[in-house]
Amino acid sequence: MLGSNGRNNIFVFTGPDGSGRKSVAEAVGQTFGMEKVISFVTRPPRQGEVNGHDYHFISNEKYREMELAGEFLESVEIDGQRYGIRSADIENKLHHRDSVYLIMNHEGAGILKNIYGDQVVRLFLYADRRTVEERERNLGLPEETIMKHLNHYDREMSYRHSCEHAFENYDLGQTTYEITNELERYLERGLIDKD
Ligand SMILES: Nc1nc2c(ncn2[C@@H]2O[C@H](COP(=O)(O)OP(=O)(O)O)[C@@H](O)[C@H]2O)c(=O)[nH]1
Ligand SMILES: Nc1ncnc2c1ncn2[C@@H]1O[C@H](COP(=O)(O)OP(=O)(O)O)[C@@H](O)[C@H]1O
């Protein structure tokens, strides 16, 4: 379904782990009644993660089957685990709605941009290295995971200038407000009084 501006919007939240992509994306998604396209992943769920909400958690074998069947629009390997987006999921959602959102690393964001061009709006979130490390520690992530994430920090940060918009995230309410304002320009739904 095309939006009031005559096109679909695919909002991709990207940036370093711990920058707040999931938190902000969920808040903004709720505000606009937008659906998330959920990734398939081979890593096991972490405590509190829900299958079908955070990810579709699947085995290596199942992932390979889907891959061989050509089901993935985008598929990457990060730290030995596979992450992918199923073509049908994004197409079905866009059939019923004008906009969707996803959360991915720079690689996935670049692939989607190449496929969907102007319909993809990359929203880059960031905070300094010490802050993201502290947030991940407060979340209780295993030390090994935090270290892996920090190893990707510089590479992810260097993607900032390729993105359509970038937001420093230190105050969750403020960041959500800024992104809502920005998305309103794309969605033209009149949720924000611009005067
Ligand atoms: N390219 C790509 N990246 C993804 C996908 N799903 C999740 N990611 C990103 O992969 C990275 C690794 O994620 P992980 O360590 O499992 O942390 P998580 O963000 O807490 O799930 C994160 O930056 C995710 O945002 C996907 O389908 N494709
Ligand atoms: N502006 C912020 N101030 C403080 N904590 C934040 C802020 N944004 C996000 N967080 C917290 O940081 C942690 C990581 O956020 P999350 O949204 O999971 O990041 P990402 O999806 O980028 O890895 C979560 O515990 C989240 O509640």
CA distances to 33, 166, 179 from 111, in Å: 25, 19, 22
Distance 192 CA to ligand 1 centre (A): 31
Q: Are 169 and 34 in contact (CB under 8 A)?
A: no
Backbone Cα Rg of the chain: 16
d(CA 1, CA 77): 32
Looking at the domain assignment, is residue 145 inside a domain?
yes
For 61, what's the count of Cα atoms within 13 Å in the CB-facing half-sphere? Answer: 0
Looking at the domain assignment, is residue 134 inside a domain?
yes
Residue nearest to atom 12 of ligand 1 (CA): 78
Looking at the domain assignment, is residue 169 inside a domain?
yes
Looking at the domain assignment, is residue 122 inside a domain?
yes
Ligand lying closest to the C-alpha of residue 179 = 2
Distance 135 CA to ligand 2 centre (A): 6
Report how far Cα 99 is from the mean position of its chain's Cα atoms: 14
Q: Which residue carries 């905070």 as its tokens?
A: 127
DSSP3 helix / strand / coil % (the chain, rounded to 5): 45, 20, 30
Q: Tell me the ipTM for this assembly.
A: 0.94
Amino acid identity of 125? L
Which atom of ligand 2 lies closest to the CA of 25? Answer: 17
Per-residue pLDDT of the chain (195 residues; tens, 9 = 90+): 777 666 799 999 999 999 999 999 999 999 999 999 999 999 999 999 999 999 999 999 999 999 999 999 999 999 999 999 999 999 999 998 889 999 999 999 999 999 999 999 999 999 999 999 999 999 999 999 999 999 999 999 999 999 999 999 999 999 999 999 999 999 986 555 545
pLDDT at site 188? 80
CATH label of the domain that carries residue 178? 3.40.50.300
Looking at the domain assignment, is residue 128 inside a domain?
yes
Looking at the domain assignment, is residue 121 inside a domain?
yes
Residue nearest to atom 25 of ligand 1 (CA): 104
Task: Assign 3-class secondary structure to 106-134.
Answer: HHHHHHHHHHHHHHEEEEEEECCHHHHHH
Looking at the domain assignment, is residue 144 inside a domain?
yes
Looking at the domain assignment, is residue 61 inside a domain?
no
Ligand 2 close to Cβ of residue 18 (< 6 A) = yes
For 49, what's the count of Cα atoms within 13 Å in the CB-facing half-sphere? Answer: 17
Ligand 1 close to Cβ of residue 90 (< 6 A) = no
Number of domains in the chain: 1
Distance 103 CA to ligand 2 centre (A): 13
Which of the listed residues 53, 83, 154, 156 should we mutate to test ligand 1's pocket, taking the one with most ligand atoms within 8 A of CB? 83
Q: What is the tens place of the pLDDT at every residue in 142-162?
A: 999 999 999 999 999 999 999
Residue 149 lies in domain:
9-37+87-187
Q: Where are the alpha helices (DSSP H) in the chain?
A: 21-32, 60-68, 87-96, 106-116, 129-139, 143-151, 153-157, 172-187
